[in-house]
Amino acid sequence: MKGYAFLFLVLASFSGYAQQTINNFKYVVVPERFSFSKEINQYGLNTLTKSLLEEKGFTVYFDNSEIPRELADNRCNALNTDVVQKKGLFVTNLTLILKDCKGNIIFKGKEGKSREKEFATSYNLALRDAFTSLNDVAYSYDGTTAEAPKPAAVAPAAAAAPVVPATAPAPVSAPATAEVKEAAGTLYAQATANGYQLIDTSPKIVLTLFKTSAPEYFIADNGVAHGIVMKKNGDWHFEYYKDGKLISEKLLIKF
């Protein structure tokens, strides 16, 4: 009987772990650079990963960006994204993996493949192919929250040093008011060595984007105006000055 009881406990424990699915997680964290990449967001793979996970319904943050308090207090409430590459001759092989905070694999997709010769195109197509496995899995966050890790013991604090009055901060100017223009149509992002070029259905290059140190901010140039492209309230905007006036054009970008 003791043997049966032990077996029951082992099976029950395994069953409890097996029930953990992507539905237990609201948040996903994406690294700014994958282990096989030579530079941050190479070929636009990291921004593409973030975009595809958001399309699935997750709330996604880069690992170097500001995150909400409930996630900052307990990183176990998020899945961590990894994309791994298997070397192949004349073929790009990428696999999507989602892990919990303890390194347990919650989801592992199929091996996405592409035989395109141009690196940026091949990596993007292989990643999209890898994501088709995730698209076949239903996702709906079930409200699960992970138990927060217990804080480590804290040594008694030393006596506080006397506070030195700080000088008054310089006044912060209010943001400029922009004239908003609606999007003219969908633009398609093609990865370049330093960012992206956005093309329309002609196809014609409409805007050139250059990467900055911030993942969702780009230096932008359309041949006439120079400015920035950034994400505000979930929408992309191209902002620049014309005749001394700030213009903010909404963009519909398909990465």
Q: Of 108, 135, 162, which residue is a domain's last?
A: 135
State whether 187 and 84 are in the same domain. Answer: no
Query: Is residue 15, in this structure, part of any structural domain at all?
Result: no
Q: Judge whether residue 129 has pLDDT over 90.
A: yes
Structurally, the chain folds into a number of domains equal to 2
The number of helices, as runs of H, and strands, as runs of E, in the chain is 4, 13
Other C-beta atoms closer than 10 Å to the C-beta of 63 total: 14
Average pLDDT, the chain: 85
Task: Point out the least confidently predicted range of 62-76, 88-102, 147-161.
Answer: 147-161
State whether 27 and 128 are in the same domain. Answer: yes
Other C-beta atoms closer than 10 Å to the C-beta of 54 total: 14
Query: Is residue 160, in this structure, part of any structural domain at all?
Result: no
Q: How far apart are CA 229 and CA 238, in angstroms?
A: 4
State whether 61 and 126 are in the same domain. Answer: yes
Query: Is residue 119, in this structure, part of any structural domain at all?
Result: yes
Angle at 81 between CA 139 and CA 79, to 5 degrees: 55
pLDDT for 155: 60
| Mean pLDDT to the nearest integer, 131-140 | 92
Q: What is the CATH number of the domain that holds 128?
A: 3.40.50
Domain that holds residue 71: 20-135
State whether 129 and 187 are in the same domain. Answer: no
pLDDT in tens, 97-124: 999 999 999 999 999 999 998 989 999 9
State whether 119 and 38 are in the same domain. Answer: yes
State whether 124 and 213 are in the same domain. Answer: no
